[in-house]
Structure 1
Amino acid sequence: MKSDMNRRYHTRVITSIIYSAIITCLVELFLVTNVSMIARYLEESGRMGRLVQAVLEYHTAVVLTYVILGLILFSVTFMILQEPYIRYISHISDAVQSISEGKLNTSIDIIGDDEFSSMASNLNKMVEDIRELMDKEREAERTKNELITNVAHDLRTPLTSIIGYLELLAGNTKIEPKLQHKYIEIAYGKARRLEKLIEDLFGFTKLNYGRISMHVTQLDIVKLLSQLLEEAYPSFVDKNLSYDFQSNVPAKMITADGNLLARLFDNLIGNAIKYGADGKRVVVKLQGGEDVVTVSVTNFGYVIPPEELPLIFNKFYRVEQSRSAHTGGTGLGLAIVKEIVDMHGGAIDVASDLNGTVFTVKLQVHFDVNKENFGTIS
């Protein structure tokens, strides 16, 4: 690239020199021929003045004059040919000055196809990269502030309840044993919720910054889903929900990290239980193919508004904030799901209408963690 720019620069300069030299030679030839001819004509006609006499007698001075005129003409011609480039360089210089002053909306028009247009193009790209970097920095700062706000709020709420109930138990010895037991159960539930919030926070941080090593093995995804649903049975009962597991194959071996997939589908099932209580039923379907396994988790409760669907996997995003205060959670569950799917080179989609809210996960049957195949499933 650099050698090509140098070649084009030298070619352009040499071309300008040749053009200037040709123009100078033609003008000089015209002057020499015509001035000498006019001088001889005037001498023959007897109208010879001092200037004509000087032209005819002082050959050295005349030649020197021609040389000086030629140099001036060559320089002027060369400058005229270079003037558009000089003006373009000045424009680029002004743009660089503006950029150095922090005006990142500065853009340079790309004119022609030479080293200066390449310079302008590279400068535009640099400005665009700087803008993107600054946008990322602003987003990182916003996310950090959002993290602090959300964590402080989500940790404070159950912690305040725990402290309140423990103060009641510690300061009042006349509380009936049955009521004491109830307070202890509430405090224990809040403590478990606090533990879950902290686990989600640390889990997402590790996933997001690549601090988790994948341990890929062969596993039966049909068996994994069955176990997760059985483990979630008390939660289904607590929310007065039933579940239905459907699979087109009795067993399906895939290559994946079992612990990460367990967390992925546990989050999806937990999400369906929290937001699907109004629908009384959760349906989990597995479609095992030769190369791709598709798992869908459907609940028939709260319908997610269409404008919120593209934001559903953003970290800390919670649908209907007031409702989330009742259902709990950090807003990290689905962000964790998305990270795990991406780590496995899979794809996840969500659809929500009156027929149910469906999360669909597609995973490769033969996943190779050493290949850069993230996002290959569509």
Structure 2
Amino acid sequence: MSRRFRTRMVMNIVYSTVVACLVEVFLIANVSMISSYLRETRYRDSFFLRLTETETLMAFVYLLSGIAIFSVTFFALQERSMRYISRISSAIQNISEGDLNTTIEVRGDDEFTAMAVNLNKMVGDIRNLMDKEREAERTKNELITNVAHDLRTPLTSIIGYLELLSGKVEIPAEMQKKYIDIAYAKSKRLEKLIEDLFGFTKMNYGKVAMHVSKVDIVKLLSQLLEEFYPSFKDKNLSYELQSNVPGKVITADGNLLARLFDNLINNAIKYGADGKRVLVQIHAEEEVVTVSVTNYGYVIPADELPLLFNKFYRVEQSRSTNTGGTGLGLAIAKNIVDMHGGTIQVTSDLNGTVFTVRLRTNFDINRENFQMP
């Protein structure tokens, strides 16, 4: 028990003892006075007087009276605590029956108060856990639905073209090549979807091991842009890399960063074709590196910006289908940024759609409660 609770219990015992003693003294004094009066009058032979002259019996009466007075006083002083205990007991009963909306008023500062606080916290934790489980179940069902839909669409096309090619009807060589090219493109899209799906699942459930090393982020982005040259040429896009330093070495997982910026650049190429240009900017400081990828295509509505990093979210379903999007690229990008303890943001207006990534230059994989400055 806490010192405060023990002190209160001791004080209640003292108060009860004092009250019992005072009442006993008052009782004894009055009984003695009445006995003296009876001896001096004609009632000297009364039953009450003979009773009071029996010392053993009177001692027993006084003892019982003292215990009764002490008990009544002590329970009166403890009544508030007892009612509080009763409320806690009722709340525990309600919780055990499944009523998780039960809360206990917190008052005082003793063991019962701590019990009420802990009980309220426990109920809140259980509610949060159940909400997370419901959300996980909803997310799982949503994932299954979206995966089934996205796998079925290209698979149906592949099967259809292969049936045409394997049929008895003669198809010109040019049409055969066209059908094969379409089936191949759909197969590649299917492969990309499965790859993104596995990657997202592993990251989302913490099954991706990070291999942290020294990475020159300026060199990394320069190489990625060069690798995307055929895609830029195919979309008739130009690209530019701007950096305030010729090179900047940071501590990170190089493979994951390559995938992060691969997704952002690929996203900029697919959805920025109308703007004819993709701009990648690097601003390196002592502790933080900021990388922004800008395209000048379709302006994303402001109310949809916070939803872009949700899995399977697409700003425009038909457009995303035409460009081969899986709806997982930005969700994977955000997961990678979170794994590095950084931040990713997006803005979109007439000046362009900008994805901004901020990363620590010295990332510590064992650091907890990481916060960007």
Q: TM-score, normalised by structure 1?
A: 0.93
Partner of 2:185: 189
Where 1:226 maps in the other structure, the secondary structure is: helix
Please identify, of 228-237 and 140-149, the stretch whose mean Cα deviation from structure 2 is larger. 228-237
Residue in structure 2 matching 1:67, options 54, 63, 66: 63
Q: Which ranges of structure 1 fall in alignment gaps of 5 or more residues?
A: none
1:337 and 2:337 are equivalent in the alignment = no
- Check conservation: 1:284, 1:298, Cα contact below 8 A: yes
Q: Which amino acid aligns with 2:357?
A: V
Deviation of the 1:250 alpha carbon:
2.0
Residue in structure 2 matching 1:318, options 311, 314, 317: 314
Residue in structure 1 matching 2:235, options 216, 239, 245: 239
Q: Which amino acid aligns with 1:41?
A: Y
Partner of 1:108: 104
Residue in structure 1 matching 2:136, options 140, 163, 167: 140
Where 2:313 maps in the other structure, the secondary structure is: coil
Where 2:236 maps in the other structure, the secondary structure is: coil
Residues 118-152 of structure 1, C-alpha deviations (whole Å, 9 max, x = no match): 11111101001101111111111111111111111
Q: Which amino acid aligns with 1:372?
A: R
1:85 and 2:94 are equivalent in the alignment = no
Partner of 2:14: 18
Q: Which amino acid aligns with 2:175?
A: L
Residue in structure 2 matching 1:41, options 37, 42, 50: 37
- Check conservation: 1:150, 1:330, Cα contact below 8 A: no
Residue in structure 2 matching 1:275, options 271, 274, 294: 271
Structure 1 residues 1-378: aligned runs within 5 Å: 5=1, 7-46=3-42, 48=44, 50-54=46-50, 56-369=52-365, 371-372=366-367, 375-378=370-373
Distance of aligned partners of 1:374 and 1:73 in 2 relative to their CA distance in 1, 3 Å threshold: closer
RMSD (Å) for aligned C-alpha atoms: 1.9
In structure 1, distance between residues paired with 2:337 and 2:217: 14
Where 2:109 maps in the other structure, the secondary structure is: coil
Deviation of the 1:349 alpha carbon:
1.4
In structure 2, distance between residues paired with 1:305 and 1:38: 97
Deviation of the 1:109 alpha carbon:
0.5
Where 1:131 maps in the other structure, the secondary structure is: helix
Residues 4-35 of structure 1, C-alpha deviations (whole Å, 9 max, x = no match): x3555444333322221111011101111122
In structure 2, distance between residues paired with 1:107 and 1:11: 28
In structure 2, distance between residues paired with 1:271 and 1:51: 108
Q: Which ranges of structure 2 fall in alignment gaps of 5 or more residues?
A: none
In structure 1, distance between residues paired with 2:196 and 2:260: 12
In structure 1, distance between residues paired with 2:167 and 2:265: 40
In structure 2, distance between residues paired with 1:123 and 1:338: 36
Identity between Structure 1 and Structure 2 (%): 68
Deviation of the 1:372 alpha carbon:
1.0
Deviation of the 1:108 alpha carbon:
0.5
Q: Which amino acid aligns with 1:123?
A: L
In structure 1, distance between residues paired with 2:110 and 2:164: 80
Distance of aligned partners of 1:373 and 1:127 in 2 relative to their CA distance in 1, 3 Å threshold: closer
